[in-house]
Amino acid sequence: MLKELETLVARLEQGELSLDESLRQFERGVELARLCEQALKAAEQKVEILLEHSADAATVPFESDSG
């Protein structure tokens, strides 16, 4: 997804596309950017949940069976 967006931006920056093709590529770029943003938000939420769980977890000292 991100790689496609990077390729698309590079093609648009070259300025060799027709106006119609540039508009289509721009629309696809907006769609990809939204998808990347959604994926990033989902990842951030997962990290927040993991951090909350790790902060709530009590630490228990390790006890060896050999002692």
The answer to whether the predicted template modeling score (pTM) of the entire model surpasses 0.75 is no
Enter the DSSP assignment of 41.
H
Can you tell me the mean pLDDT for 56-65? 64
Provide the token pair at 54.
């790790």
Confidence of residue 58 (pLDDT cuts 50, 70, 90): low
Tens of pLDDT, residue by residue over 17-57, are 999 999 999 999 999 999 999 999 999 999 988 888 887 66
Closest listed residue to residue 33, CA positions, set 3, 66, 65, 2: 2
- Integer-rounded Cα radius of gyration of the chain: 23
- Does residue 13 have a pLDDT over 90? yes
Asked whether 25 and 17 are in contact (CB, 8 A), the reply is: yes
